[in-house]
Structure 1
Amino acid sequence: MEASDMVIRVIFLSQSMVGVLGNSFLVYKYLLLCFTGIRLKFTDWILQHLIVANFLTLLCKGVPQTMAAFGLKDFLNDFECKLIFYLHRVGRGVTLSSTCFLSVFQAVTISPSGYRWSWLKVKSPSYIAAGVYMSWILALIVNINFPMYITARLNHWNMTSLKEFEYCSSVRHDKAFDTFFAVLVISPDVFFVGLMLWSSSFMIFILCRHKQKMKHIHRSNFSLRSFPETRATKTILLLVSTFVCFYTLSCLVQINVSLLYTPGSFLVNMASVLTACFPTVSPFLMINR
């Protein structure tokens, strides 16, 4: 056994175990809060959708990839390959949209009353709630084509027309079709990332301006009242920056895997590792903050 194979196995196994445990702990904490009758904030409701999306990503990508790294290559049939690839894409899309809505909602929450969109403070929960449900529907629709081109490795009827992905395969197309399909799939992602970056930039601007004001106002009631919101804003900014970092790296690797006629195992494994990074790290960011 090569040392690189052992490293890949340890990485996949660690990501799967740590990610599932972290998200399970958050589920336990939320269930405990619900049973004790504590009223959850609206941001907690968005985070619950993020946790579900994290589970989909880890269970449908991390676990099969871990099994493949330990030598189980042909353990999925055709239907199972189509299903886990589809659910993984849906979970990935909802992770992006949930993080975006979390950032937008917090930006609206901390915006001063003098801004034009301050009236959204009252109506933003209903708008964003509808947006979160619509993001699930959008992810289900946009990724509906993925199962059509995914097949099990057991179907070796024509290896020249298949692109290998460790435990499943996909049908090869010409680069023009792959480019068109990639643009179609990534369009909603570009919109959500742009919205996320705009809302995050606005929150940073508000926090910096608030810090400047607090230099001249010592121990004011406003500063004490705004402390929980400031802490929540910094937590969300940490989540967003972590997501954007991992998402950008993952996209770059995924584009190479999609466009290459025969992607190497290193690129395929790297894409899987980067995809599982945010679902693994994000619950511990939330627990720590």
Structure 2
Amino acid sequence: MKMNKKRKFPSYTALRNTVFFEITIGISANTVLLMFHILTFLLKHRPKPLDLTIAQLALVHLVMLVTVGFVAADTFGFENWGNDLMCKTVIYANRLTRALSICTTCLLSILQAITLSPRNSCLAKFKHKSSHCYPCGLVFLWIFNMLLNGRFLVSIGATPNVTSHSFVFITESCCQWPISYLFRYIFLSLVNVQDISFIGLMALSSGYMVSLLCRHKRQFQHLHSTSLSPKLSPEERATWTILLFMGFFMLMYFLDCIIFLSSGILLKNDPVRHSVQLLVGSGYATISPFVLMSTEKRMIRC
């Protein structure tokens, strides 16, 4: 059924304002985090893999939130794109950045595990290799995800002025054209395999870091009185922050999947659910820069 593009949701003013407020806060925070790392790279030394990862995560989340802002504006009837190029660009950029967000968050967890690993561990040999291989890995992830999400450049277009049950509506102005079952199955399989693989790697690296932190605490209590609480080093404080970061990401990711599966992407079903999905889907991108900035002493001093 053709959607009414002029439809607005006056009874959801509070929810609408919350969506735009979250997007504005997230864009501002990620811009500050990205600019800080850019200035650090330009004024000081060659960036480390961990700094590059945080900068890329801020860039990815910045672009993601900008595209979510366009989607929200179209959803609430503030803007009507009305052309294929705009639809393809916004939806493709949104899907690409969401995929890169998972990849970059996983890399952040793995790099922190490598940084925390002791000298006699199997991960210690990657400490020096990571600075040389890491840029190539980033380029590979960008190219792979750009190709994987390239189907949106073909299957997404402006909503036509005809009535059809074969269109899947993404926003008020954009819809997904019918595609073959085989092509859809291959694409969904690749996306699911990628997401499950990166989430599995996050879980493994997080478990490894927890075991290292627990071992350090037991060694400290063995060497000192148990009445003394161990003082965390900067690396350990950063590790606990990354672990909190991973937990929050997984929570928001699974909440987004649950909402998506329960309501689908048919906007006509329930605009409230779609708005809640926008809030949940943007929650990680909005909160993450504040978590990362809270552990950056250079930013706190500034």
TM-score of the superposed pair, with normalisation by structure 1:
0.87
Q: Give the alignment of 1:161-176 within 5 angstroms.
A: 161-167=166-172, 168-172=174-178
Percent identical among aligned pairs is 28
In structure 2, the residue matched to 1:216 is 222
Map 1:133-282 → 2, pairs under 5 A = 133-153=139-159, 155-167=160-172, 168-172=174-178, 181-218=187-224, 227-258=233-264, 263-282=269-288
The aligned residue for residue 53 of structure 2 is: 46
Q: Distance in 2 between matches of 1:98 and 1:198?
A: 16
Name the CA shift for 1:35/1:123 in 2 (closer, same or farther; >3 Å). closer
- Letter aligned with residue 236 of structure 1: I
Q: Do the aligned partners of residues 190 and 38 (structure 1) sit closer, same or farther apart at CA in structure 2, a change above 3 Å counting?
A: same
What is the RMSD of the two structures over their aligned residues, measured on CA atoms? Answer: 2.7
Q: Distance in 2 between matches of 1:58 and 1:91?
A: 9
Secondary structure of the structure 1 residue equivalent to 2:165: helix
**Partner of 1:104 in structure 2?**
110
Given the superposition, is the C-alpha separation of residues 277 and 53 from structure 1 closer, same or farther in structure 2, using an over 3 Å criterion?
Answer: same
**Separation in structure 1 between the aligned mates of residue 166 and residue 195 of structure 2, nearest angstrom:** 29
**Residue of structure 1 in register with 2:300 after alignment:** none
Q: Which amino acid aligns with 1:216?
A: H
1:14 to 1, 11, 21: 21
Residue 21 of structure 2 aligns with an amino acid whose one-letter code is S
How far 1:146 sits from its partner (Å)? 1.7
Aligned length: 283
SS in 1 for 2:44: coil
| 1:128-166 deviation line (CA, Å, top 9, x unaligned) | 33222211111101111122221213x223432222233
Contact 1:166 1:265 in 2 (8 A): no
Q: Give the C-alpha shift of residue 245 in structure 1.
A: 1.0
State how far apart, in whole Å, the 1-side matches of 2:178 and 2:268 are: 9
Shift of 1:99: 0.8
Alpha-carbon distance in 1 for matches of 2:270, 2:177: 16
User: Pick from 55, 59, 63: which aligns with 2:66?
Assistant: 59
Deviation at 1:117, TM superposition (A): 3.1
* Contact 1:12-1:65 at 8 Å conserved across structures: no
**How far did residue 254 of structure 1 move?**
2.8
Where structure 2 has 5 or more consecutive residues not aligned to the other structure, the ranges are 1-7, 296-302
Alignment partners' CA distance in 2, 1:170 and 1:257: 17
Conservation of the 8 A alpha-carbon contact between 2:169 and 2:266: no
User: Judging changes above 3 Å, is the alpha-carbon distance between structure 1 residues 259 and 42 closer, same or farther for their aligned structure 2 residues?
Assistant: closer
Q: Tell me, yes or no, if the aligned pair for 1:16 and 1:280 is still in contact at 8 Å.
A: yes
Moved over 4 A (4+): 1-4, 172-180, 256-263
Q: TM-score, normalised by structure 2?
A: 0.83
User: 1:38-92 CA deviation, whole Å, 9 max, x = no partner?
Assistant: 56443111111111110121011x2113313442352341111011111111111
CA distance 1:284–1:101, change in 2 (3 Å): same
User: Could you say which residue in structure 2 is the equivalent of 1:27?
Assistant: 34
Q: Deviations over 1:13-39 (max 9, x none)?
A: 111110011011112322443454256
Secondary structure of residue in 1 paired with 2:252: helix
- Relative to its length, the structure with more helix (as a share) is 1
Q: Is the 8 A contact 1:101 1:128 kept in 2?
A: no
Conserved 8 A contact 1:178-1:259: no
Q: Superposition pairs for residues 57-96 of structure 1, below 5 Å?
A: 57-60=64-67, 62-72=68-78, 74-96=80-102
Find the counterpart in structure 1 of residue 299 from structure 2: none
Question: What is the rounded CA distance, in whole Å, between the counterparts of 2:138 and 2:175 in structure 1?
Answer: 31
